[in-house]
Structure 1
Amino acid sequence: MRGMTMKLTIGERVAWYRRRRGLSQEVLAGLVGRTADWLGKIENNRIELDRLSVIKSLADVLDVALGDLLAEPSLVEWTADSGMETVPALRTALMEYRAITALGTSGQDAEPPDLDDLRKQTARLWDLYQASRFGAVTGKLPDLLRQAQAAVDHLDGREQEQARNLLGLTYQLAATQLTKLGETDLAWIAADRGLAAVRPVGNPAITGSLFRSVSHALLSTGRYQDAVRLTTDAADYLDQHLTDAGPELLSVYGTLLLAGSMAAARSNDPGTVRTFLNTADETAARLGTDANHLWTAFGPTNVAIHRVATAGELGNVQVAIDLGPRVDTSALPMERRVRHALEVSRAYSSWNRQDEALSVLLDAELMAPEQVRHHFLGRQLALTWVRQQKGKPSSDLVGLARRLHVLD
């Protein structure tokens, strides 16, 4: 189905699957606790359907994956950054049997990769991810995974521990990137591989960072309550190390709570959202400033970003409108800045301030076109605005919709 329904809004996909299941609007609406009038407006694009908790409830009743309604996964375009081998090459690397069986490693080159060079390559790819250059990351990850695995296979002692940590961080990046692309099953495999790689080392910061990738994988498949439980369990695991925690562990701990706050919001659990956000806020105060330890971009500003995002997921548009535009994200990595811009655009759109919403989305696209194209919010906002126009859509809106591949 990849790319086949990109030109349908989420509401139109709901209608398509509803008819395939032989359900009337009255029956489907009743099964999700809504009215037929509400569902009719959703299917006819008179109401925007952008809250993932509501979309997931419809997906569950229709017996389809969350990604089926979001039109995910999305196709990675060939660029100078990505080359002509993208997700399929990464899938092959993740399904390399030597990584889980240790068979066939004896015939490999005797010289392992240089650890310093491996560190630099790992850092470079994480920096590219935070710069929202998703094609470059996807294209370069397979080779880095193979090099990191080779280092683990050939080294021993302290050097092998370092190699395992680097392999774990590379798998985490793969899981994070694949989640952005909607490749949920592959993201889960990458998160699992990463935890297996670092488990023998026992570094709480690296292990906690991998827990975050598991949380993101759960979120991407709509397993929101599981992600909340994981956050609680992982926080309990990390608590024992927090007394004398350094900035890396504090950042990992805080970012894990932020991921948990999104899971709680999508579970319609505002009490747990507040608990996670308040603890993350205390952790950010302890850290003292915005930072980017282990590529977490954690600090007071990221907490504020998540206050806006969770408000949007809970349907508290007034909070998102009041706080969102006032958050200064200019010092954060591009990925964080654009993700926040998507939330602000969504809030403006929900408030029927489409001109401001479009302006924010256009600015975000200018900064990071790949990220806007691969996020369901960017695609669906643009397409829904086109559908809702009574007259001819503006050239800016039509141009955006075409660049996002949701309009011919």
Structure 2
Amino acid sequence: MPNDATPDPYADPLAFGQRMQILRTHRGLSRPVVAGLLGMSPSWVKQIETGQIGMPKYTLVLRIAELLRVRDLSDLTGDQSAQVDLFIGPGHPRLPAVRDAVNALTLGENREAPSAEHLAARLSTAWAARHEAPNHRQVVGELLPGLIRDAQLATRQADTASDRRAAQAVLSEVYSLSQFFVAYQPDSALLWRVAERGMVAAQESEDPHAIGVAAWLAAQAHRDSGHFDAADAMTMEALGYLERFLPDADDRTAAIAGALQFEAGYTAARRGENGSAWGWWDKARVTAGALAPGYYHPITSFSQAIMGAHAVTVAVELRAGGESVRQAVAADSVAIPSRPRLARHRIEEARAYQLDGQAETALATLEKAHKAAPETIRYNGYARRIVLEETESRFPARRRRAAALAEQLGLLAA
């Protein structure tokens, strides 16, 4: 019987090349784009996908998995005996408590809810704690259950339309903080539930800043799932909505517009669209330049200081090794006041150095990332990929250094 259905890439006995082709097609990437981002030729990609060439070496398999956003390496290789989560970190001990709070209805609570102003002050403290703590997931995970329940209760008890909108704006931001905590943990359904609830609350609030933040996070969720078109649609719709508010916008609203502009560039870079990626980065740079000196958006980290780090990310996603290193050298990482954001920047620098063939420097940079915020690097798929790749190095000293870092990240756990 004829069957026109797309084959399941996770069902045996599909070969590596077939899995790669199905996953590439699902991501909407052409062979020339994948070839360019891997530093190979389109004919090589075709030969791999058609089985004329067998599975490449392990280091290249890891890079293909990163490019295609394969969450478990076995999904690409078909080897179920060697499952390695690349873009999903371990479940945090506080995850069940956060999940329970998100799922709670608060219907039976008779206590009086805190005011929106009180909740906003607690949120500000929580964001500050996240930026300052090396173990930021632990800190945020302790604060979130109470914040979630209180913000949900506040929306239920609001007496007036204006009070309800204010409570919804706070609730949306609580969900934004929750999304930072839940990201890259083994509960994708919870991540999407938080993202969707955050968007609904933001729209109910009618607050441009809240809507922009929710869209920024939702676009990231779409892109990290490989849905580039959905990420672009979300970003462009949010930018179009915010445009009317920008002439008189305060710094935080202007900053979320700038963060969305960079997101458009980030997605373009992931597609391999060089001109569009740098064009959007330049628009974001102009927006950042109009912010008050020293301003730092507490949710997106958007600021004048972050644009150097963003340039590194664009170059890395375009797989431009030399340009990535030049941008890394030029970026003023000391000016990034957030420990997790600084650690993320160090990881991007490490990607740049590895692309440029400077593996030893890449490992040293990852060690700096671990020192800044261990919980950032432990949950970062790019860092995990580099470390795993270098544990296979032909140089014993480098293997030992990578193995020590792998042990710190929990990658060698049984």
* 1:146 aligns to 2:149 (yes or no): yes
2:12 maps to 1:21: yes
Q: Quote the residue 1:45 is aligned against.
A: 59
CA distance in 1, matches of 2:341, 2:351: 16
Paired position in structure 2 for 1:156: 159
TM-score, normalised relative to structure 1? 0.82
Q: Counterparts of 1:371 and 1:58 in 2: how far apart (Å)?
A: 19
Deviation at 1:93, TM superposition (A): 2.2
Structure 1 segment 180-199 matched on structure 2, within 5 A: 180-181=184-185, 183-199=187-203
Task: Identify the residue that residue 274 of structure 2 maps to in structure 1.
Answer: 270
The one-character-per-residue Cα deviations of 1:30-76 (angstroms, maximum 9, x if unpaired) are: 6654133876334x2256517744445999x9699xxx874443224
Aligned pair 1:243/2:247, yes or no?
yes
Shift of 1:221: 1.2
CA contact (8 A) 2:315 2:323 kept: yes
2:214 is equivalent to residue 210 of structure 1? yes
**Structure 2: how far apart are the matches of 1:301 and 1:20?**
47
Letter in 1 for 2:90: L
d(CA) in 2 for partners of 1:69, 1:338: 23
Note the C-alpha offset of 1:159: 3.4
User: Structure 1 unaligned runs (5+)?
Assistant: 1-16, 79-85, 99-103
Bigger shift: 369-378 or 112-121?
112-121
- Whole-angstrom distance in 1 between the partners of 2:103 and 2:379: 24
Report the equivalent of 1:371: 376
- The one-letter amino acid of 1:143's match is G
Aligned to 2:37: none
Q: Structure 2 CA distance, aligned partners of 1:259 and 1:184?
A: 21
Per the alignment, residue 125 of structure 1 pairs with 126
Instruction: Specify whether residues 111 and 398 from structure 1 end up closer, same or farther in structure 2 by C-alpha distance, changes over 3 A only.
Output: same
2: CA distance between counterparts of 1:143 and 1:288? 33
If the length of structure 2 is used for normalisation, what is the TM-score?
0.81
**What is the distance in 2 between the residues matched to 1:122 and 1:51?**
37
Give the Cα–Cα distance (whole angstroms) in 1 for the partners of residues 9 and 237 of structure 2: 37
Q: Distance in 2 between matches of 1:182 and 1:233?
A: 29
User: How many residues matched?
Assistant: 374
Amino acid at match of 1:320: S
Matches within 5 A, 1:229-378: 229-332=233-336, 333-378=338-383
Structure 1 counterpart of 2:102: 94
Does the CA contact (< 8 Å) of 1:290 and 1:297 recur in 2? Answer: no
Question: Contact 1:49–1:55 (CA<8 Å) still a contact in 2?
Answer: no
Amino acid at match of 1:335: P
CA distance in 2, matches of 1:58, 1:362: 24
Amino acid at match of 1:380: R
Q: Summarize deviations over 1:283-322 as a string: whole Å, max 9, x none.
A: 1111143422343321223222122112111111111111
Once residues 205 and 26 of structure 1 are traced to their aligned partners in structure 2, the CA distance between those partners, rounded to angstroms, is 45
Does residue 1:137 correspond to 2:128, yes or no?
no
Gap change, CA 1:297 and 1:18, over 3 Å in 2: closer
**Aligned amino acid, residue 56 of structure 2:** K
Q: Does structure 1 residue 224 correspond to structure 2 residue 232? A: no
Alignment pair present for 1:401 and 2:392:
no
Name stretches of at least 5 consecutive residues in structure 2 with no aligned partner. Answer: 1-7, 25-30, 32-44
Q: CA deviation at 1:182?
A: 5.8
Give, in whole Å, the separation in 1 of the partners of 2:379 and 2:334. 22
State the shift of 1:130 in Å: 2.6
Letter in 1 for 2:163: E
Most deviating of 203-212 and 292-301:
292-301
Q: Is the 8 A contact 2:66 2:382 kept in 1?
A: no
Please tell me whether the aligned partners of residues 73 and 183 of structure 1 are also in contact (alpha carbons under 8 angstroms). Answer: no
Shift of 1:407: 2.1
Displacement of 1:350 in angstroms is 1.9
> In the TM superposition, what whole-angstrom CA distance separates every residue of 1:148-175 from its partner, at most 9, and x where no partner exists?
1111111223433322211110011112
- What letter corresponds to residue 100 of structure 2 in structure 1? T
Question: Is the Cα contact below 8 Å between 2:198 and 2:214 reproduced in 1?
Answer: yes
